[in-house]
Structures are given as C-alpha cells and as structure tokens.
Amino acid sequence: MKNIGIKISLYLNYFVFAILLNSVGIVISKSINVYFVTESQASVLEAFKDLPIAIVSFFIASFLPRFGYKKGMLVGLAIVFFGCLQMVFGNAFLYTKILFLSIGVSFAIIKLSVYSLIGIITNSKKEHAALMSSIEGFFMVGIAFAYILFPAFYSDDVNSWLNVYYVLCLLIAISFVFLLFSKVEYQVESSASTLKEDLIQSVKLIIVPLVLVFIISAFLFVMIEQGIMTWLPRFNEKIFLFSENLSVQMAVIFALSLALGRFIAGFLTKRMSWVYLVIICIVISGGILLGVLPQLSENIETLTIIENTTDVPVLGFILPLIGLFIAPIYPLLNSTVLSSLPKSLHSPMSGLIIIFSALGGTIGSRVIGELFESIGGANAFYFLLIPMSLLIVFVLLIDRMSKKQEVTV
C-alpha cells in the first residue's frame, strides 16, 4: 500500500497525543493526591499544555513547510519522548509542568504537519476526507484508551502510575522509527511572506465580524469541553466518592460519548439544520447539569467510597453522557465558518482556531480549578452554564452572518 509507513506514523502520532493531551485531568488528580498540591495549583497544567500549542502554532505556521513536515514531526516526537522520560525520574509536580510544556510544543508541530501531510499523501477529496476522518476517529480512541491505560498501572505503591510513561515512550519510539524510514516526496511551495506579514493577515482576519464571532464561539465551546474533560476524574473522586482507579475508568464514558456524538451528528446534519441541532445539544447539555448537580450537592456526606462499577449510582453514568451532546458543536461550527471563507483564508483561519481553542481550554480549566477549591466540585460545574448560554447567542449570530455573501479580507 502506498505511503503505508507514513500513514501508520500519522495514526500512531495522533493516538499517542490523544493519550498525552487528555491525560491532563488524570495527572491533575494524581498531583493533588501524590504531590499534595491544591486544585488551583494543579489547574496550571492545562496552561502549560495549551498555551505552547497556541504560541508555537502561530510562529511555525509559515516556517514549517520550508523546514520540512517530516523533520518537524521527528523533532516533535523527540521532544515529547524526553518529556515523558523525565517524568519517571523526576517524580515531582515541577516535572508534570515540564511534561505538559513538551506535549504542547510537540503537538503544535505534529498537528500542523499531519494536516499538511494528509493533503500530500492523498490524491482526491474523497481520499483526503476518508483519511482525515479516520485519523480524527483514532484520536477519539486514544482519548478513551487513556482512561484505561493509566489505571492499569495504579497500585498501593504511590509511584507505580509513573510506569505508564515507559509504555508511552515505547509508542513514541515506534512512531519515530516508522516516520524515519518512510519516504514522502513533495514540493515545498515557496512563500515570500514574512512572519510580520503573516501576523498582519491574521489581524485583518480576526476583525472580520463572522470570524470574530466564530473564534469567541470556539473559545466558549473549548472552555466547556475542557472544563468537563480535565476535571471529571477529580469530580468523580471527590463528589461521587469513587475510588481513584474507578474515577478515571468512569471518565471513559465521556470520551466514548464524544466519539459517538460526532458520528451521529454526521447523520443528523443531513436531515436537519445545523443551527437547530447545535442549540438542541446545548440545551440538553445544560439540562443534564441542572438535573444532576443539585442532587449531588445535598447528600454527598452520606456516601461511602465506591470501588466497583456495579455500585455506581445512576447519576454517575448520566453526567459523562453530556459528551454525547456537546460533541457535534465544534465540528459543525468549524464547517459552517470555513465554508463561508475563501480557500485562501483557510490556513490563517485554522491557526486562529488552534490559538483561541487553546486559550479557551486554559481559562476554562483554570476557572473550574479555582471554583473547585473554593466552592466545591458540584457548585463549580454550574459555571459551565454561563458559556453554554452565551454559546447559543453566538451560534445564532454565526448562522445569520454565514448566510450573507462570502467573506474577503
């Protein structure tokens, strides 16, 4: 099969980074229990992950094609390999910050390279869409696998969980080898644009009303998604009083719900307006929070530690199903806005999506962490109703603006 080596490497890259990126909630919980930091202190790990993604993505977007996608990915894999390795030998909260810093820097390089290489190694729009969808789907599998892999290394030894990074180092090394010996031939398009000119183009784009409304919407959505995904393991442990092992394992329901939700959305959008679908999903998501959270804040003191899934209350299964309803929102927003922009603006628009999504994830996680510490986990999750409400308003604005004539800069 043509380009089989590079394709396997792309799949492995996204699979490994899905585990690493979405392990932040697991590591936050471990940092609180093992390194005895507060929720507020632990929440900075999201910033160490997301801010480098935003910054590095912006500065390397125009440079990466000239440097070479393959070389860029090899550098990214090497960086995150040593980031994982130092966790084993460091074993302190400081080294978790270094880990997520390395993950953020590496993923910025990997994501830009993967998206570009998909276009290079495919020969038609149909083939491109198929490979892109399958790689993104594999990413969702990686998220779910993270919630299974980490607990497998839990034991009475408080440091045993660090052994998971040996497994991750092995996966990274395998991906590195596949990539190193894969041949990818392509012509790098020469670009006369400088970093200053790229910055000016992005500034011009960001002041376009449709784009401005969209990036605010992306910011709000990722604030919701990451606020839940990052803090759900800790929420399970502290509010539902699940054991540490079960807390992480139950979070897999959220990841699988996200994957299923995006698959179902592809089916539903052919039969109903995207804007109605998104608003319905937001309303149901808010309804789940309003239905579950009041019941948790009242009788929490009467609960005992839950060790097995057979003892998990119904509410413990209902809350993570919120992923089923928030899943369709982000891809539908992206599709609507990008289809309203000329193709020449898709690249800078993608950069803005990465930047503001990263900022939303950082701020959302930080706010939830601060609230978790000050007013408790059940009350902290009420905060998510605010961006949900605002998102409905911005979705309606996007729908109205996208129906107007094509945007130009």
Q: Which tokens hold the place of 381?
A: 């999750």
- The pTM for the full model equals 0.77
pLDDT in tens, the chain (409 residues): 567 777 888 888 889 999 999 898 889 989 998 999 988 888 899 889 988 988 888 777 667 777 888 889 999 999 999 999 999 998 899 999 999 999 999 998 898 888 777 777 777 656 665 676 677 778 878 888 888 899 889 888 888 999 999 999 999 998 898 888 887 665 555 555 666 666 676 677 777 788 888 888 888 888 898 888 888 888 888 888 888 888 888 888 888 888 888 778 777 877 788 888 889 999 999 999 999 888 875 455 555 788 888 888 888 889 999 988 988 887 777 767 766 666 556 566 767 777 888 888 888 888 888 888 888 878 888 999 999 999 999 989 888 887 764 555 5
Tell me which residue of 363, 109, 133 sits closest to 262, measured CA to CA. 133
What letter represents residue 74's amino acid? L
Alpha helices in 22-163 (DSSP H): 24-34, 39-42, 44-60, 64-67, 69-90, 93-121, 125-149
Is residue 77 a contact partner of residue 176, using CB atoms and an 8 Å limit? Answer: yes
- HSE-up (13 A, CA, CB side) for residue 369: 26
d(CA 140, CA 17): 11
d(CA 333, CA 160): 42
Ordered domains of the chain (ranges, CATH): 1-186 (1.20.1250.20), 194-409 (1.20.1250.20)
